[in-house]
Amino acid sequence: MRGAKNYKREELLDRAIELFRRQGYSATSTAELVEELGVNRKSMYAEFGSKQGLFEAALERYSERNLTRVLAPIEDPKADAQSIRRAFTGYASASEGAFSGLGCLMANTAVERAALDPGAAKFVDAYLDRLKAGFTRALANAREAGEVKEGTNLDEIAALLSMSVVGVSALIRAKAPADDVRAAARAISNLLDLVKPATEPA
């Protein structure tokens, strides 16, 4: 029974995630949530307390599940420069197809809610920390593997990459031309080539 209840809760949260991601927090009314979740208002309040409570539960599940999947390439303890390239190619590909116009719920929330809502800001801060930690380790691995030349400031590049994940998501959310999003991802890939040590003449 416990399992069934959890399954039901997770299913509701996934539907809430979809709605908040598509419409944002403020533009989503309680009436829409009730309809989309297919529960009555009383059950929704009993389970989540409020629209805010539901939003935070959705952000928690999104962090644990969606972000963990999306950030897997850069959170892999063995991630390196090639993992970063692959991650950005993947993110940029969301500029076409079903994800166009959606963006990442956490990046959307960074812009829509973090400055206004400490409950949401907690999740956004943790998201930015994860990006920074992932890129920092991946770049350290790249240096270890001899893929980064001396004097390269890895903290600065990690900051640029973290900011770029949020920026790429914002462009996808804004339905910017897919060519431009892919070009930005290629520029990041090229940046990683630019910081490679010069190949020694044979």
- Interface ranges with a copy of itself (CB under 8 A): 22-27, 101-103, 107-108, 110-112, 114-116, 121, 124, 128, 132, 153, 155-160, 162-164, 166-168, 170-171, 173-176, 180-181, 183-184, 186-188, 190-191, 194-195
User: Rounded CA gap, 117 and 46, in Å?
Assistant: 22
The pair of three-digit structure tokens given for residue 19, joined into one six-digit string: 């709605």
Least gap, CB of 5 to a copy of itself (angstroms): 32
Give every CB contact of residue 98 below 8 A, 6+ residues apart in sequence: none
Q: Which is nearer to a copy of itself, 124 or 138 (CB)?
A: 124
Residue with structure tokens 């400031």? 153
Q: Which is nearer to a copy of itself, 48 or 91 (CB)?
A: 91
Least gap, CB of 15 to a copy of itself (angstroms): 18
Least gap, CB of 104 to a copy of itself (angstroms): 10
Give every CB contact of residue 30 below 8 A, 6+ residues apart in sequence: 41, 44, 51
Least gap, CB of 46 to a copy of itself (angstroms): 26
Q: Which is nearer to a copy of itself, 43 or 189 (CB)?
A: 189
Q: Which is nearer to a copy of itself, 10 or 129 (CB)?
A: 129
User: Rounded CA gap, 105 and 108, in Å?
Assistant: 5
Please list the helix, strand and coil fractions of the chain in percent, rounded to the nearest 5, in that order.
Answer: 75, 0, 25
